[in-house]
């Protein structure tokens, strides 16, 4: 993959017309007392370097086409407990010209700032205010440090998102493996459905399957929701007893070789009721119809209008909407987006395109949630946009109840 990371840096240099780019890896985050959460790298940093460790920096001089990694200075204790990466190994993974210390990097940046007034970095994440959690501090720290050195610090998140939205052959190969692994796990769980008594047993089956087959684990915390829990969109407790004649909503994806999957199916526990069958069939039909719309050059605005029309018609067909103008109930019974980009992150940015393009990967996940009836159904597939249309990467997994 060394060539892949090097060519990604070249693509970014071209996109920014040369220029100086400095980005930081994520920092490790505290779990409790003196232990850290399992480290997950910032997706852009990984895409540019392949380095999976915290606190490293990438420096790109786009004018001279030179690249460096700056290694954090680790204490001896830190090295003994957490291991480290030698400069030689880091160079081999990333293909950068050189690996230097962060003290040397700071001196170098002061020097570069004499010739360049502008530096690009990954600033504060957009929508930061809407996210109800604390962001990783590494990006902000880097931004503040650069503001002390350069006249102007500019954000290159958008440019990176646009580049990353178009998946390359190496990435598609990995994503297909991740999808196949997730599909196989769903098939195994569905075949053994009668054996489980609690939601967490189903979760454990997926975790076991993923790790046993070499996946890092889950792309996101798995959703295993039964009965009324199916109406909580991001239900994560996964601890209820499975009751007969209720639904089981599974929204899960393996993370494999750096790439995410995101698939949802809704199954019935025992014989489904007439109403459960009716709602499931309605979502299943909408899901197939929406996927059939996808292809290159589809206007994103037009797609959203068509999705709304299909979902409104679907909700009317099962008696949940009286007419098209009832937007309040439309948002009540289908309260989330129809999908999102997929890649290194389970919610990868598509770079805000006006039209879909070949080699974008996105999810399609219509759902209907009726809290007053304890019925929630979601069906989600991972779709690759191709030159001629689309390919449903998870399409071989049955969407049946």
Complex with Mn ion: residue 262 or 348, whichever CB lies closer: 262
Shorter beta-carbon distance to Mn ion: residue 50 or 366: 366
Could you say which residues in the range 257-276 bind Mn ion, by CB under 5 A? 262
Q: How far is the CB of 164 from Mn ion (least distance, A)?
A: 17
Nearest distance, CB of residue 379 and Mn ion, angstroms: 11
Among the residue ranges 5-13, 217-225, 322-330, 358-366, the one whose residues contact Mn ion (CB under 5 A): 358-366
Q: Interacting stretch for Mn ion, rule CB under 5 A, among 41-49, 97-105, 154-162, 356-364? A: 356-364
| Closest distance to Mn ion from the beta carbon of 17 (Å) | 35
Work out how close the CB of 378 gets to Mn ion at its nearest, in angstroms, rounded to a whole number: 9
Give, as ranges, the residues between 216 and 255 that touch Mn ion (CB under 5 A).
Answer: none
- In terms of C-beta density within 10 A (0-12 exposed, 13-18 middle, 19 or more buried), how is residue 257 classed? middle
Size of the site for Mn ion (CB under 5 A): 2
What residue is closest to Mn ion based on CB? Answer: 262
Q: Which stretch binds Mn ion (CB under 5 A): 82-90, 153-161, 226-234, 360-368?
A: 360-368
CB of 263 to Mn ion, least distance (A): 8
Site string for Mn ion, 311-350 (x = CB under 5 A): ----------------------------------------
Among 219, 246, 363, 394, binds Mn ion (CB under 5 A): 363
Nearer to Mn ion, 69 or 249 (CB): 249
- From the CB of 365, what's the least distance to Mn ion, in Å? 5
Contact mark string toward Mn ion, 111..140, x via CB under 5 A:
------------------------------
Residues in contact with Mn ion by the rule CB under 5 A: 262, 363
């Amino acid at each position: 993959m060394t060539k892949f990371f090097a060519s990604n840096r070249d693509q970014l240099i071209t996109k920014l017309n040369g220029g100086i780019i400095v980005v930081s890896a994520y920092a490790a985050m505290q779990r409790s007392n003196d232990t850290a959460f399992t480290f997950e790298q910032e997706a852009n940093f990984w895409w540019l370097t392949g380095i999976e460790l915290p606190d490293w920096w990438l420096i790109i001089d786009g004018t001279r086409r030179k690249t460096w990694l700056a290694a954090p200075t680790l204490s001896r204790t830190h090295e003994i407990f957490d291991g480290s990466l030698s400069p030689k190994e880091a160079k081999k993974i990333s293909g950068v010209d050189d690996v230097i210390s962060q003290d040397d990097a700071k001196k170098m940046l002061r020097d570069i700032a004499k010739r360049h007034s502008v530096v690009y970095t990954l600033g504060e994440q957009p929508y930061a205010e809407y996210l109800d959690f604390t962001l990783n501090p590494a990006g902000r720290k880097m931004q503040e440090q650069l503001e002390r050195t350069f006249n102007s610090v500019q954000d290159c998140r958008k440019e990176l998102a646009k580049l990353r939205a178009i998946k390359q052959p190496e990435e598609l190969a990995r994503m297909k493996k991740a999808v196949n692994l997730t599909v196989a796990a769903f098939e195994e769980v569905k075949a053994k459905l009668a054996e489980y008594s609690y939601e967490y047993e189903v979760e454990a089956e997926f975790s076991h399957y993923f790790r046993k087959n070499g996946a890092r684990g889950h792309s996101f915390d798995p959703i295993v929701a039964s009965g009324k829990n199916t109406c909580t969109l991001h239900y994560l407790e996964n601890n209820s007893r499975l009751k007969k004649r209720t639904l089981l909503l599974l929204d899960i994806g393996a993370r494999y070789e750096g790439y995410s999957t995101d698939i949802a199916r809704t199954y019935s526990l025992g014989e489904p009721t007439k109403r459960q069958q009716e709602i499931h069939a309605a979502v299943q039909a909408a899901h197939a119809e929406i996927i059939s719309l996808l292809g290159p050059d589809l206007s994103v605005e037009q797609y959203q209008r068509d999705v709304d029309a299909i979902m409104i018609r679907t909700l009317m067909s099962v008696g949940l909407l009286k007419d098209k103008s009832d937007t309040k109930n439309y948002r009540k019974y289908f309260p989330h987006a129809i999908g999102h980009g997929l890649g290194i992150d389970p919610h990868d940015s598509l770079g805000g395109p006006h039209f879909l393009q070949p080699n974008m990967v996105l999810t399609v996940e219509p759902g209907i949630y009726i809290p007053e009836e304890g019925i929630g159904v979601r069906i989600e597939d991972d779709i690759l946009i191709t030159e001629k249309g689309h390919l449903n990467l998870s399409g071989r997994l049955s969407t049946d109840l």
